[in-house]
Amino acid sequence: MAFPITRRMDADRFWSTMEASAQIGVGREGGLSRLALSDADKAMRDLFVEWCGQAGLAVTVDAAGSIFGRRAGADDSLPPVLVGSHLDTQANGGRFDGIAGVLAGLELVRALNDVGHVTRRPIEIVNWTNEEGARFSPPMVASGCFAGQYALDWVHARPSDDGPTFGDELKRIGYLGETPVGGRSIDSYFELHIEQGPVLDAEKVQVGVVTHGYASYGALVEFRGETAHTGPTPMDKRHNALLAAARLLVAVDDIGWEYSATGGKATAARLVAWPNKPGILSDWSQAVCDVRHDDPDTARAMADRMHAAVTEAATLAACEAKILDTWEWGGRIFDRALVNLVRRKAQELGYSHRDLPSQAGHDAYFMTRICPTTMIFTPCKDGITHNNAEFTTKEEISPGFDVLMHSVVAQADRG
């Protein structure tokens, strides 16, 4: 029997799961601080696994810690339609970023269970590990590993600020799964996410049809200098690694301003140094920066400028520079047929909608490498995100959810 287009989200049931999540890893008022593979992340994972079990899903955990809940299809030999996002948050994160997408997948399964609809293809929901990169850099390593971008050993070796590696922490919280990471056929991937930008909220549009993601390039840069006294050491004898990193980060910000008229962004995100004390020059520092632009060629040009700025900063501070890691994502358009499907469902359901790109990084970007992929955005107040004031309502999420549900079911049921 066909899944009736009149079905709508059980917004109260969905919201009760969102509220339960908002109690785990509480951060600043109204927000969450649920860093990847922390005790709070474990508690959230345990609850998610319990919910998956109650919804009749077969749960597996892969060796990168990503959790999959599978609902069998009528023809279970077909590749699954995958729906998900992430349950980890930034240090000062909100309650919705990522979480809405994972729990929307769960609610979708519950909605299918309500009417006993078995889709032709299996449906899997997923919580990707460490999307944020707030504790282990870079972000989106688990989906990147699933899509063949990163080797598992390299992912396991990512260090945290607080000492243990990604692999250590997976083991400690009991989520080092036995399922191989990726290497299997996926029919398609859908991710619902709050927009994390102001457009839908400002224009009072209910659903964002995401066409593609900004091309983004990031770098982790290390500078080495020499400790010395801040008093007697002559200016021309200084090798202050803190200064080198500071110069780089200012230069990167300048690149952002240069491209801002066309929507370019460049970010000085992080600076750490040692000893980082008064009275002494630092001999070591690390900086993290990134650039992004809607036009892939422009993003590439910005990235070249960022790399040139590394050498310039090192020269100006008489330090040695080393780029320890780089990453890139986005710049690919999402699958045209899936984007059209999402737009058509928004129309059929009578919701206002508009096309827009994603400017933030998402696990979906890596999934484009292995299967047709798309995203659906829902409004968030004033576009505030990665902040405890991040806010949306069940009324604002519901239209995007309904579009997700009917798109996924149509995709899973197609002949």
Cβ of residue 90: shortest distance to Zn ion, in angstroms? 9
Contact in structure between 188 and 370 (CB atoms under 8 Å)? no
- Closer residue to Zn ion, CB minimum distance, 98 or 218: 98
For the packed helices 296-316 and 241-258, what is the interaxial angle rounded to 10 degrees?
A: 150
- Closer residue to Zn ion, CB minimum distance, 25 or 98: 98
Query: CA 144, 148, 152, 155 torsion: positive or negative?
Result: negative
Find the distance separating the first CA and the last CA of the chain, reported in whole Å. Answer: 14
Burial class (CB in 10 A: 0-12, 13-18, 19+), 332: middle
Cβ of residue 9: shortest distance to Zn ion, in angstroms? 20
3-state secondary structure 73-103: CCCCCCCCEEEEECCCCCCCECCCCCHHHHH
DSSP H/E element including 123 = strand 123-127
Interacting residues of 23 by C-beta distance below 8 A, sequence separation 6+: none
Cβ of residue 358: shortest distance to Zn ion, in angstroms? 10
User: Residue 167's closest CA among 188, 179, 153?
Assistant: 153
- Closer residue to Zn ion, CB minimum distance, 97 or 107: 97
- Closer residue to Zn ion, CB minimum distance, 133 or 372: 133
- Closer residue to Zn ion, CB minimum distance, 97 or 402: 97
Cβ of residue 44: shortest distance to Zn ion, in angstroms? 14
Distance CA 311, CA 322 (A): 9
Cβ of residue 127: shortest distance to Zn ion, in angstroms? 12
Residue showing the smallest CB distance to Zn ion in the complex:
98
Structure tokens at 196: 């994390």
Distance CA 197, CA 202 (A): 10
- Closer residue to Zn ion, CB minimum distance, 247 or 292: 292
Cβ of residue 96: shortest distance to Zn ion, in angstroms? 9
Cβ of residue 67: shortest distance to Zn ion, in angstroms? 16
**Residues binding Zn ion (CB under 5 A):** 97-98
- Closer residue to Zn ion, CB minimum distance, 140 or 321: 140
- Closer residue to Zn ion, CB minimum distance, 97 or 187: 97
Beta-bridge partner residues of 284: 224, 274
The 3-state DSSP class for residue 302 equals helix
Cβ of residue 234: shortest distance to Zn ion, in angstroms? 48
Distance CA 165, CA 363 (A): 21
Distance CA 310, CA 33 (A): 32
Cβ of residue 141: shortest distance to Zn ion, in angstroms? 14
- Closer residue to Zn ion, CB minimum distance, 194 or 342: 194
